[in-house]
């Protein structure tokens, strides 16, 4: 078994997922840095069809991790969420945002997303 943490595939089949070598290429980093980002909780991986992948929406068009993502992941983990639950939370539509929390992070509304993550602690 891999030492890289991977969540269950709780995402809709339409969510674009990138294999880890593609993530490394888009971030212009060695694959070992992607592995470390996953271990450190800056990114979350999903195993789909036996392949470790990362949601494409976690990366910007400029080749960076979406601003506020790692902080949001940390807040949710500290609140007791599992990686599966974090992925579900990030990709579940919220009419008051509007859209999903990951859409809001991509739209530079990270403060609001982090506030909601803190408020949802259990």
How many domains does the chain contain in total?
1
Look-up of token digits 């991986």: 45
What's the confidence (pLDDT) of residue 76? 95
* ∠ Cα 9 97 91 (to 5°): 5
Structural domain including 98 reads: 17-119
Give 59-98 as a DSSP string.
B-TTSSBPTTHHHHHHHHHHTT--HHHHHHHHTS--TTSS
The verdict on residue 36 lying in a domain is yes
What's the confidence (pLDDT) of residue 1? 43
Angstrom distance (rounded) from CA 76 to CA 20: 23
What's the confidence (pLDDT) of residue 121? 67
The verdict on residue 8 lying in a domain is no
Closest CA to 71 of 93, 52, 98, 43: 43
Question: Quick one: angle between helices 83-90 and 69-78, nearest 10?
Answer: 130
The verdict on residue 6 lying in a domain is no
The verdict on residue 102 lying in a domain is yes
The verdict on residue 9 lying in a domain is no
What's the confidence (pLDDT) of residue 118? 87
Tokens representing 32 are 């070992």
Residues whose CB is less than 8 angstroms from the CB of residue 105 and which lie 6 or more positions away in sequence, other chains included: 66, 67, 68, 69, 72, 113
Per-residue pLDDT 10s for the chain (122 aa) are 458 999 999 999 999 999 999 999 999 999 999 999 999 999 999 999 999 999 999 999 999 999 999 999 999 999 999 999 999 999 999 888 889 999 999 998 988 998 888 887 65
The verdict on residue 92 lying in a domain is yes
The verdict on residue 30 lying in a domain is yes
């Amino acid at each position: 078994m891999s030492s890289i943490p991977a969540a269950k595939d709780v995402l809709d089949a339409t969510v674009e997922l990138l294999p880890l070598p593609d993530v490394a290429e888009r971030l212009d980093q060695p694959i070992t840095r992607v592995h470390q980002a996953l271990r450190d909780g800056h990114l979350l991986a999903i195993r789909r069809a036996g392949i470790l992948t990362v949601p494409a929406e976690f990366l910007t068009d400029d080749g960076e991790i979406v601003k506020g993502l790692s902080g949001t992941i940390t807040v949710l983990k500290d609140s007791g969420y599992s990686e599966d639950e974090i992925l579900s939370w990030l990709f579940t539509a919220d009419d008051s945002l509007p859209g999903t929390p990951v859409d809001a992070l991509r739209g530079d509304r990270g403060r609001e997303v982090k506030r909601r993550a803190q408020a949802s602690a259990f």
